[in-house]
């Protein structure tokens, strides 16, 4: 026997994330600093545990028509096949083709935060994404249709009672007119997932770990991002 326990390892991962989010909420008084710290906790979790093909950062997303999204707290994007990542004095601007998922990270969930996250997600999903045929050893493969960009909301606490019951379901249903939220985590209480047109809400004492594993599973189904048409961006070169 090795002495390791998968159950204890998964529980410990959630416990660490919940403790850090709780400490951030309690110890930092300035709301902007508190928000930045919470984003940092989630970004570190995803950076540490997602496969290395993915990168995670706060960023804007831009497309080849020169349209830009609102700034997103968390963008999960491809770095292996995406050559065009702009870093302007620490602010990242990422091409739309490279994006797998976007999340807002807040201290607490309520109807206004769900609505806010939906508007941020909509600003990314509305962007144009190019896709080129893919050269391979067996010949030119058809261009891959861009996949759905996963969107969601990550928080520590909830303003509702019950924390993740009908009020959450109603807020998610209202947000569908803007941009459906695919998944989310309320670390102290549980998770929500959208599948087959409906929403599943799962109370959990290990919500952060459950969210991480479900996110990885959903990313696996998307495989690789489309092959970006670099020339579509190059047309903006002048002089």
77 close to 92: Cβ distance less than 8 angstroms: no
122's tokens = 């909509």
DSSP, collapsed to helix, strand or coil, labels residue 133 as coil
Catalytic residue selected from 104, 120, 157, 182: 104
First to last CA, the chain: 68
106 is catalytic: yes
Q: Is 97 helix (H, G, I), strand (E, B) or coil?
A: helix
Q: Quote the DSSP letter at residue 59.
A: E
Query: 68: which DSSP letter?
Result: B
Distance CA(186)–CA(107), nearest Å, equals: 9
Residue 73 a catalytic site member: yes
Question: Of residues 78, 97, 106, 120, which has the active-site annotation?
Answer: 106
Query: Is there a contact between 151 and 179 (Cβ–Cβ < 8 Å)?
Result: yes
Q: Which of 73, 78, 157, 182 is catalytic?
A: 73
Catalytic residues: 73, 104, 106
């Amino acid at each position: 026997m090795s002495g390791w326990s998968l159950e204890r390892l998964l529980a410990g991962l959630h416990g660490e994330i919940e403790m850090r989010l709780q400490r951030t909420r309690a110890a930092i008084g300035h709301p902007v600093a508190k928000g930045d710290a919470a984003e940092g906790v989630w970004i570190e979790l995803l950076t540490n545990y997602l496969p290395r093909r993915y990168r995670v950062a706060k960023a804007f997303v831009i497309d080849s028509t020169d349209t830009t999204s609102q700034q997103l707290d968390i963008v999960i994007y491809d770095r292996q096949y995406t050559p065009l990542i702009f870093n302007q004095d620490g602010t990242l601007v990422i091409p739309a083709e490279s994006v797998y998922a976007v999340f807002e990270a807040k201290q607490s969930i309520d109807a206004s935060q769900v609505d806010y996250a939906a508007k941020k997600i909509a600003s990314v999903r509305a962007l144009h994404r190019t896709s080129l045929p893919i050269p391979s050893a067996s010949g030119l493969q058809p261009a891959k249709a861009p996949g759905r960009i996963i969107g969601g909301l990550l928080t520590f606490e909830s303003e509702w009672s019950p924390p993740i019951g009908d009020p959450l379901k109603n807020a998610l249903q209202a947000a569908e007119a803007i941009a459906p939220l695919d998944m989310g985590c309320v670390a102290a209480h549980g998770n929500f997932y959208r599948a087959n047109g409906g929403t599943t809400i799962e109370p959990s004492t290990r919500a952060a770990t459950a969210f991480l594993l479900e996110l990885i599973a959903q990313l696996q189904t998307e495989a690789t991002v489309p092959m970006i048409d670099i020339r579509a961006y190059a047309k903006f070169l002048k002089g």
